[in-house]
Amino acid sequence: MIEVKNVSKAFGEKKVLEDVSATFLKGKTNFIIGASGSGKSVMMKCMVGLEEVDSGSILYEGRDFTHMGYEERKDIRKEIGMLFQGTALFDSLTVQENVEFPLKMFSSMSSAERLDRVNTCLQRVNLQNVNQLYPSSLSGGMKKRVGIARAISLNPSYLFCDEPNSGLDPLTSRVIDELIKEITEEYNITTIINTHDMKSVFDMGENIVFIWKGKKWWDGHRKQIRTSGNEELYDFMKAYDIEYV
């Protein structure tokens, strides 16, 4: 479980997050939703330590990530896997080397064990015979799958997905969604997905946090959205797909 407590963040005079508190549940697909510029990406960056919060705290199973030093944070970071919006695969490395990279850095596995783990992860995301390809020769959907394989290679406790469906066609988006959901349940991971793809939210959202103008306006299960009584959330939903409201 990850708890975000009273987090605020500003860039200069511009307040991006204001006193945001939220809880992300273990073994569930947690969503951060909101319009572009609402602060959801900054919130995710604060949670993984790519941005420092101005005030408040972020707790990983009670461990205060925000007030840890660099070395202490390393231990938590090794428990985190992240799927980036642009996949962030290392373009000078092959698919196999990309997935193997965290294992090489942080495990004491032999090269044979690492290869076995790489193949297991690639099979888990339904990719075969791509080990020696470079990211530049993969399709968008395949890159996302390799990104997921790299993110789960060290058996993370927390999986962050930043806009996992961006740039993908609807069919591939659903495949990626399904994959993330399966992996979350299978490995009992705390998964946090930052998106504005409302189809994903209505298909998988077990715990949804709605950020609007830097503040948390609502949180709950996808089934509670219709009865939330939150006008801003309704407006946001209507802008994407009116049939759900």
Partner 1 sequence: MTFFYVFGKYLLFMKDAFSKPEKFRIFRERLMQEMYSIGVGSLGIVAIISLFIGAVTTVQTAYQLVSGLVSRTIIGTIVSESTILELAPTITSLVLAGKIGSSIAGEIGTMRVTEQIDALEIMGINSANFLVLPKVVASMIMIPMLIIISIFLGISGGLLAGKFSGILPIEEFMKGARSSFQGYTVFFACTKAVTFAYIITSVSAFQGYFTHGGALEVGQSSTKAVVYSAVLILFADYVLAQLML
Binding interface with partner 1 (CB under 8 A) = 48-50, 73-75, 77-78, 80, 82, 84-86, 88-91, 101-102, 104-106, 160
- Select 51 or 206, whichever has its Cβ closest to partner 1: 51
CB of 130 to partner 1, least distance (A): 19
CB of 80 to partner 1, least distance (A): 6
- Select 23 or 85, whichever has its Cβ closest to partner 1: 85
CB of 76 to partner 1, least distance (A): 8
CB of 126 to partner 1, least distance (A): 22
CB of 143 to partner 1, least distance (A): 11
DSSP string, the chain: -EEEEEEEEEETTEEEEEEEEEEE-TTSEEEEE--TTSSHHHHHHHHHTSS--SEEEEEETTEESTT--HHHHHHHHTTEEEE-TT----TTS-HHHHHHHHHHHH----HHHHHHHHHHHHHHTT--S-TT--GGGS-HHHHHHHHHHHHHTT--SEEEEESTTTT--HHHHHHHHHHHHHHHHHHT-EEEEEE--HHHHHHH-SEEEEEETTEEEEEE-GGGSTT---HHHHHHHHHH-GGG-
CB of 226 to partner 1, least distance (A): 35
- Select 101 or 234, whichever has its Cβ closest to partner 1: 101
- Select 67 or 74, whichever has its Cβ closest to partner 1: 74
- Select 48 or 118, whichever has its Cβ closest to partner 1: 48
- Select 86 or 170, whichever has its Cβ closest to partner 1: 86
